[in-house]
Structure 1
Amino acid sequence: MQFTTLSLLSLAALAAALPASNEPRQTTVDPAQVPDFGITAGQDPVDGNCAGANGARIPCDCPPDRDSFISTLSADVAAGSAYGTPVTWSTDDSTDGQRARLQAAIVVLENLTGAGVGCPVSSTTYQAQLAALG
């Protein structure tokens, strides 16, 4: 009886760890599908900070260079996480797919060089882009 109970628990744990969908996890990023930042780094510097979305003050090196961001995003998508925070990528051009890409980009942006170490979302127009999707 103990063996059966342990086997069933092991199977349940394995089933819980498997993806809910039969679709393979996307591990590559098409640069054409990476949302534009909508903000340029280094604008209106005052006291070591620069202009971000909606009047927010952001580090002047945010957002990062697009090519380096896409490289980091690609690596995190391939790994499935950005410093422990799950990252998934969608190639679907539906509203849900666009929303998923924006959310993945936000996670990577905010965790560029460590857990919670990156650029704030206000260094982009991603929040406005999400809102526009409804």
Structure 2
Amino acid sequence: MKFSAALISTALFALTASAAPAVSIETRDVATDVGLFFGFIGGYGVQAGVDNQGGACSTPVAAARIPCSCPPDQGAFIATATANSQAGHVISGNGAGTPVSFAETGNDASDFTQRMFLFRDTMQGIGCPIISTNWARLLPQ
């Protein structure tokens, strides 16, 4: 009796498992998406190291002084934004723990804004103010 119950259970499990649709697991390439979005918004729009005066630089976007290392290397920024997106929060630096995400489609205004907030928060986490880019004009006022 125990043998036939086990056999029936095994047969039912096999039938159930074989009836389940095959699910392909696709992983989203967030790094590529972040890089494409970076290009879509025109990169930083400013150049690091311009007008070095006593360890501070200026930006053509604002009459303020910014660290001369800002904005950071594009590849380093994209890697950091990708890591933050995958973690769901800023993982280091200023604002560590701030929740962030990178909207999957970017097709509507709220997705665009969500992506820009990820970029802003990542930039600030690196230690660069948003005015070290021309992104402030792309954020909701």
Query: TM-score, length-normalised on structure 2?
Result: 0.66
Q: 2:108 corresponds to which residue?
A: 94
Aligned partner of 1:104 in structure 2 is: 118
Q: Deviations over 1:40-66 (max 9, x none)?
A: 101111121111221211000000001
SS in 2 for 1:37: coil
Equivalent position of 1:33 in the other structure = 37
8 A contact 2:106–2:115 mirrored in 1: no
Residue identity opposite 1:70 in structure 2? I
Q: Which has the larger radius of gyration?
A: 2
Which amino acid is the alignment partner of residue 129 of structure 1? L
Question: What is the rounded CA distance, in whole Å, between the counterparts of 2:83 and 2:29 in structure 1?
Answer: 8
Q: Name the CA distance, whole Å, in 2 between partners of 1:94 and 1:56.
A: 32
Contact (CA 8 Å) 1:27, 1:74: kept in 2 or not?
no
Per chain length, whose mean CA-contact separation is higher, i.e. which structure has more relative contact order (CA < 8 Å, sep 6+)?
1
Consecutive unaligned residues in structure 2, runs of 5 or more: 1-27, 91-95
Q: Partner residue of 1:14?
A: none
SS of 1:58's equivalent? strand
Aligned residue among 122, 125, 128 for 2:134: 125
| Structure 2: distance between partners of 1:87 and 1:62 | 21
Note the C-alpha offset of 1:101.
1.0
> 2 CA distance for matches of 1:105 and 1:47?
28
Query: C-alpha deviations, 1:8-47, integer Å up to 9, x for none?
Result: xxxxxxxxxxxxxxxxxx8824111124211110111112
Quick check: 1:44 aligned with 2:51? yes
Separation of aligned partners in 1, 2:102 and 2:67: 27
Identity %: 33
Residue type at the aligned position of 1:33: F
Separation in structure 2 between the aligned mates of residue 84 and residue 57 of structure 1, nearest angstrom:
27
Matched pairs, number: 102
Which residue number corresponds to residue 78 of structure 2? 70
- Normalised by the length of structure 1, the TM-score is 0.69
Structure 2: distance between partners of 1:93 and 1:49: 38
Whole-Å Cα distance in 1 between the matches of residues 29 and 100 of structure 2? 10
Secondary structure (helix, strand or coil) at the match of 1:108 reads helix
